[in-house]
Amino acid sequence: MRQGVDESQRSALEFRAENALSKNRSADIPMSFLRTWVLNNWGLKLAALGISFLVWTTYTSEPIVEVSFQVPLEFRNIPPNLELLGDLPTHVRVRVRGRSALLRRLAPADFGIRVDLTGHGQSDALVPLTSEQVDAPYGASVMRVTPSHIRVHLVPRRASS
């Protein structure tokens, strides 16, 4: 019977030893993670951080400017039985704000202003031009459209002979 007690004591001691080892292993996991992922190649990681900081400061220090463009008008949704008559402006002046590097690359063709004539009947109409009607590239904000209104004259379409 003495041997049985020794075996149970031995298994209890082995169990305690395994628990102690597993606790040490779980404590080693954060340290091994730290060594493997954070401290490994620390010089390269520090250089990458420095380069990214330089790129960020260069981008954010670029000045914001305002520029004007002569943008062509595009008339949409003209009623099928009507046509435009008279002197209509073909271009309007659009004032745009953005980073100087972006605005230097832009041309008037990069913008468009849509004039929607839906709901206009045969008449003389004063149509507002707003910054929401301007298609502008990402990073460019439309500040003002000049003139702010245009007069359109819609007349019945002549039958072609």
134, exposed or middle or buried, with CB in 10 Å at 0-12, 13-18, 19+?
Answer: buried
Task: Give the C-alpha separation, 92 to 131, whole Å.
Answer: 12
3-state secondary structure of 127: strand
Domain 62-156 coded CATH 3.60.15.10:
no
Alpha-helix residue ranges (DSSP H) falling in 34-127:
42-60, 100-105
CA angle 137, 142, 148 (to 5 degrees): 130
What is the pLDDT at residue 50?
92
**Residue 59 corresponds to which tokens in the numbers above?**
């981008």
Task: Give the C-alpha separation, 37 to 31, whole Å.
Answer: 10
Q: Which amino acid belongs to residue 7?
A: E
What is the pLDDT at residue 52?
93
Residue 27 pLDDT greater than 60, yes or no: no
- Tens of pLDDT along 54-110? 988 877 777 888 888 898 888 887 777 777 777 888 888 999 998 888 888 888 888
How much is the pTM?
0.57
Task: Give the C-alpha separation, 90 to 39, whole Å.
Answer: 63
